[in-house]
Structures are given as C-alpha cells and as structure tokens.
C-alpha cells in the first residue's frame, strides 16, 4: 500500500542537478536562539567525572569486555551517502523537517549516488548506506536499480535508510539485493513519539520494521538520547542519570526486537526547529547509555554516531571501546552541508574521501583493526 504526500512545489527540480534550491529563509526574528552541541553537550570536567566515578568505570569495563568478546578490536566502517535532503515529514527535532524553509535542499541523481558509492568502494569500505529524508521523488524501481547496480558492479553490502515505505517497496529492494535497512524508532515512549513525529505513529513504524524483519533484512534500530520528556523517574536506580529511566524502557523494547545494529544518537538542537532550545545530553550521559546498550544487546553492532563524532576524534576513539561501527559521510562536498539533520553535520573543510581516510588511519593508529574484504562488511553477529 503506497502513501500519498502533499509535495512541495520545489520537488520539480531536476534530479540530475544537485544545485541547491534555496527556499525563502525564515525571518531572523523567528529563529529561536540555540547553542551548538559542543557548548551544551560536554565539558572536560564532565568527561573526567564519568571516568572518575567507580560505578561508571565498572559499567564501562563490563561493556568494553563484551564488545571485545563479540567483535574483538575490529571497527567496521560504513560509508554513508545522503542523497536527498527533502523530507515529507515534520519531526520536531529534525532539521530536514518539511516546514524548515531555511534549509537549502538538494537531490542527487542515481549516477551521482553511484559515483559516491564508488568512493566508498575505493576506500576499501565494505558497506554503503544510502540515506535520505522521506522523499518519494525516488520511486521504488529507481532505488532497486541502484541497489542492484551497486551490488553487481561494486560488490558492496547495501544498507538502505529511507524511512517508512510500503511492504511492496521493501520487498522490491530486498529482491534487488539490498542487505540491510536502518529504521530507528527514535523513542519507544508512545506519547512522546506522537508528539515528536506528528505525522507518523508508533504502530505504523513498528509495522514497517516488522515488514523489514520478515523480508530478511538485517535491521538497524535505535533512539535519540535526551529528547524532551524523557527523564529518569521510571528507573530509581538511575536517579542521577536524567535519561536513565527512559533509556531502560528503550533498551527493554530493543531487546525484544533484537536489531543487528543499535544506534544511540544524542539529541542535538537544530536552530530552525521547534526544539531549538532543548539541550543536548552531556557526554557522560551519552557514554553511559552506549555502555548500557552494549550490555543489553552485547552482539549488536553499535555505531559511534556522527553526532558524537562532532566532539572530536579523541571522544570518538574512546567511544569505540564499547561501540564498533563508524559511518563517515561520502556525500559529495558540493551538497553535503545541506544534509542538516542537526547543526554541524558534514561541516568538515576536508573532502569526504580525505576525511574518511583520515578517520580510518586514526582508528588504526589507536590500535583497532579495520577489516577489509568480506570481513569488512560487518554483517550481523551469527553464533558460531
């Protein structure tokens, strides 16, 4: 069953022209004030506090040991190509929401997407992630043809992250060879879901996820950590952790779904969204949540998200002690700043290829293994 959307007029833009379409910006006076995540998310003292606390040290050590038990010292890279910043939905926390008129939008053509996937291949990375806002401009057959071409000509594992689509579309993509699908619930608190994702529903998203599982995709799921309304009052053991209680609910739900990848993405306020003034969680809260996720689902792939990566490579490397996946963006540099799900994403002055390569070198220098060939695909854990 397909869903119909009211499409913005700007969708008539040529796919082959990645030129940015600059819509009329919001008047400055209407833009809420905000602080970038680096200012609100962490301080050196809060980081020290995390590792100085004996409780946290024990938690971290338990998670670190489980990560090594399942994945050794391997770090799996997935090259992400964010091919459209258009979105038909209006999630309150996301810079791609359709009502964000300040955002410069872009779409890439299938050929441009394939060229970016070729960069992923040439870097020796075994998986490409094709991601976009929910943009039905790309019909199911276009996506299927792209997945098939990437599988045939590049031999990469293909992950799709295109949001909620019909069962038939998912089936077509699976038949075309797509291996994995990333569909994060974002929050398992139903009322919060309805508030934050006003044009979706928990039931519809869960049904889409169930479809993907039935079709045999390796499924990724996850949450945004620190959303409004997600406090610790439901988990007395974590009173000091402002997101601990909600996290317990999220992790219990995720254990039932048993995703092959589990992402804990810290909330970062975007200035052009209704949540511009809501703070990010602090670094200790994020690290603790990642450790708890590893303990809850020890064999899952757990990415160190690009949002956390904004804090710097030293924090990213530290987080890899419990996480095991990195997803550098290989979106072409002419457009990639337009994939503004949060401020600062894809802001690097380096080219995408050089940034990814430098990250791979930094990870290897830190003593991790970066597997290549079939092992570098980072497939789901299978019991030996």
Stretch that binds ligand SF4, among 88-96, 167-175, 238-246, 250-258 (CB under 6 A): 88-96
Q: Give CA–CA dist 232/240, Å, rounded.
A: 8
- Kindly state the tokens that stand for 305: 């998200």
CB of 364 to ligand SF4, least distance (A): 32
**Site residue total, ligand SF4 (CB under 6 A):** 10
Candidate list 41, 87, 123, 283; residue touching ligand SF4; CB under 6 A:
87
Q: Is 125 among the residues that bind ligand SF4 (CB under 6 A)?
A: no
User: Based on CB atoms, which residue is closest to ligand SF4, 135 or 282?
Assistant: 135
Nearer to ligand SF4, 96 or 360 (CB): 96
User: CA-to-CA distance for 263 and 222, rounded, in angstroms?
Assistant: 4
- Closer by beta carbon to ligand SF4, 266 or else 284: 266
Distance CA 328, CA 304 (A): 10
Q: What is the DSSP code (8-state) at residue 234?
A: G
91 binds ligand SF4 (CB under 6 A): yes
CA-wise closest residue to 271 among 20, 39, 8: 39
133 makes contact with ligand SF4 (CB under 6 A):
yes
Cβ neighbours of residue 258 under 8 Å, at least 6 residues apart? Answer: 297, 300
Cβ of residue 89: shortest distance to ligand SF4, in angstroms?
Answer: 4
Tokens of 38: 């680096």
Strand order in the sheet with 218-225: 261-266, 218-225, 180-182, 157-161, 127-132, 76-84, 325-326
How many helices and strands in the chain, by DSSP H and E?
A: 13, 9
Smallest distance, Å, CB 94 to ligand SF4? 3
Residue 269 lies near ligand SF4 (rule: CB under 6 A): no
Is residue 146 within 8 A of residue 110, CB to CB? The reply is yes
Nearest C-alpha neighbor of 79 from the set 110, 118, 52: 118
Pick the stretch among 27-35, 83-91, 144-152, 257-265 that binds ligand SF4 (CB under 6 A): 83-91
| From candidates 78, 97, 294, 345, binder to ligand SF4 by CB under 6 A | 97
Which of 244, 344, 359, 362 lies closest to 41, judged by CA? 344
User: Which residue in 82, 119, 134, 242 binds ligand SF4 (CB under 6 A)?
Assistant: 134
As a whole number of angstroms, the distance between CA 264 and CA 38 comes to 18
Shortest Å distance, C-beta 3 to ligand SF4: 13
281 binds ligand SF4 (CB under 6 A): no
Q: Which of 15, 59, 66, 96 binds ligand SF4 (CB under 6 A)?
A: 96
Among 94, 189, 285, 304, interactor with ligand SF4 by CB under 6 A? 94
CB of 138 closer than 8 Å to CB of 109: no
**Of 67, 78, 89, 316, which lies in the binding site for ligand SF4, with binding defined by CB under 6 A?**
89
Which residues of this protein are in contact with ligand SF4, per CB under 6 A?
87, 89, 91, 94, 96-97, 133-134, 163, 341
């Amino acid at each position: 069953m397909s869903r119909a959307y009211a499409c913005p007029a700007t969708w008539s833009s040529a796919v082959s022209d990645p030129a940015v379409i600059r819509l009329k910006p919001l008047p400055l006076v209407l833009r809420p004030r905000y602080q970038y995540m680096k200012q609100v998310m962490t301080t050196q003292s809060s980081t020290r506090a995390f590792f100085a606390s004996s409780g946290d040290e024990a938690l971290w050590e338990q998670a670190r040991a489980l990560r090594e038990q399942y994945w050794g010292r391997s770090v799996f890279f997935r090259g992400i190509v964010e091919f459209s910043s258009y979105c038909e939905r209006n999630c309150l926390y996301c810079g791609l929401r359709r009502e964000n008129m300040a955002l410069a939008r872009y779409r890439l053509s299938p050929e441009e997407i394939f060229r970016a996937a070729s960069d992923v291949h040439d870097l020796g990375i075994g998986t490409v992630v094709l991601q976009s806002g929910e943009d039905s401009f790309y019909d199911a057959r276009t996506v299927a043809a792209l997945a098939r071409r990437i599988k045939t000509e590049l031999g990469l594992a293909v992950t799709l992250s295109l949001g909620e689509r019909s069962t038939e579309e998912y089936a077509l993509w699976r038949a075309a060879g797509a291996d994995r699908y990333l569909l994060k619930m974002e929050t398992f608190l139903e009322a919060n879901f309805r508030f934050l994702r006003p044009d979706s529903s928990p039931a519809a998203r869960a049904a889409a996820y169930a479809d993907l599982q039935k079709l045999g995709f390796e499924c990724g799921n996850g949450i945004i950590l620190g959303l409004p309304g997600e406090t610790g009052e439901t988990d007395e053991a974590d009173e000091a952790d402002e997101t601990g209680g909600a996290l317990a609910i999220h992790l219990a739900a995720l254990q039932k779904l048993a995703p092959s990848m589990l992402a804990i993405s810290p909330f970062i306020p975007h200035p052009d969204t209704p949540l511009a003034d809501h703070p990010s969680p602090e670094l200790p809260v994020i690290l603790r949540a990642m450790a708890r996720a590893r303990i809850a689902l020890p064999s899952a792939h757990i990415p160190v998200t690009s949002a956390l990566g904004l804090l710097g490579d030293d924090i990213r490397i530290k987080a890899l002690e419990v996480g095991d996946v990195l997803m550098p963006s290989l979106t072409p540099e002419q457009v990639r700043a337009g994939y503004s799900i949060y401020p600062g994403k894809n802001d690097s002055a380096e080219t995408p290829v050089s940034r990814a390569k430098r990250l791979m070198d930094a990870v290897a220098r830190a003593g991790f293994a970066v597997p290549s060939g079939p092992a570098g695909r980072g497939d789901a854990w299978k019991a030996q």
